Structure 1
Amino acid sequence: MQHELPSTPSARLDGRRALVAGGSSGIGLGCAMALAEAGAHVTICARRPPELGDAVDAIRSRGFDAAPLQLDIADVEATERAVATEGPFDVLVNSAGSARHGPALTTTPADFDAVMSINLRGAYFLCRAVAAGLINAGKRGSIINMSSQMGHVGGIERAVYCASKHAMEGFTKAMAVEWATRGIRVNTICPTFVRTPLAAQTLDDAEKRRWVEANIPLGRIGETEDIMGAVLFLASDLSAMVTGSALRVDGGWTAA
């Protein structure tokens, strides 16, 4: 008797529209490239026009589909207007982020507010705006929040950053439960230290770099390419039954 074998779901994103916030450099740009390679039309959202234009041009030069959207997600009203005008988006990768590392005893209210305005407040309302567009259009979708291993553990001189990412993990789970019946999946990706401009302030310090490497069982710093497969998994039908989850791309940091 011949077995009826299942087929692997597709990783292709042809015909889908993706919004990548913070997509002009680092992890965000890698995510934008991964989605574009899979066939999505990618809108890259960033604050600075020169970097935004360069990122879009680079993706287009490879023969893929990309468009710019100049936007600061800390401006909630402008974000909601832009998403309502440009959407609906089938996929959101919320990779915009900020960090002001330092001892908790020296944290200023200005530092706290600057980080939270993007990592928590901006991220929350961007998710809401994209979900509203999907619901109004009667569409399913995937929302991917770029969290961190620091959303699950503590870190030296990272009290504010950890607070913002722990909060992101919380609202991601709640949104996943609330929007599940609408077919909208909400998950996080939680990288370890990845070789990007944002991580340079830590990795360029020899003592801190040794601390990082000593805490990663796989024994190396992360690369942007390490995140690209994760974002494609969560954006595509490969993860059709995954919501409210945290995908830790941390080299084993939180396991240890």
Structure 2
Amino acid sequence: MVVLPPCTPDLCGKDFRHSLKKPSPNYPYGAKTRKLRVVPAFTIQAMQKNTKVMPPPKSGVFDPLPIKPTMFRKSYQRGEFPVSIEFTSSGKRLAWKVPIEKLDFHHYLPMFFDGLAEAGYPFNFIVEHGIDDLVKKGGYKILPVVPQLIIPIKNAFATKRPSVLCHALRCIQMLVAGCDKVGEALVPYYRQILPTLNLFKDRNRNMGSGIDHTTTRGENVADLIEDTLQILERHGGPDAFINIKYMIPTYESCVQN
């Protein structure tokens, strides 16, 4: 008589039950990990399995705005400005076809400031040198035109392009430092022109051990903003600092300290 070994199953009951939960090899997702489905936040779908909540969108507060043609560009292309670029042995300079003292500053100075939103050549060259000449020879004609310059300055800052911001800040420094009482006349308009400066005041690039050459070329936005705020405080009278501090809380006085 032959005694056979006892019949034992290959899998116990527990292992057999676990094997039932495994996907079939022929199923599309059997051999691969199923990709998570991206769903919007704060919805019923966010509570489902195999889902991933969609991250919040970027605010885009520092994104530059698209370039739009300005009135300065249109007027220059029509030949309405009595200026031309003259090439000399020492470089380029702006040549005026009429004496600057005879110009209508209520018309030409706001038009030149409207060109601050332009970033390409030759517009940026004509605007910067034209404002410099008008400020140097304008004298008492500059102060009555200050209210007309606020909207062009605000539009230039609203582009949020670093090259345009640096260009506009240099022109504001020339305007405030080159004319008497202009700094005090700008104090009531700080709420229109300073919010954008508050955004970019600390936007210095972290170069690590490298050297940021934009600081030596005068193209660093944060450094130019700090210099411009100090010039506004020095020439803005006794109420300049408290109004700057209201719009830019991180600013520290260069006069009181």
Common fold, TM-score beyond 0.5?
no
Larger RCO (alpha carbons 8 Å, 6+ apart):
1
TM-score of the aligned structures, taking structure 2 as reference length? 0.32
Which has a greater percent of strand? 1
Could you tell me the TM-score, scaled by structure 1's length? 0.32
Q: Could you say which structure has the larger radius of gyration?
A: 2
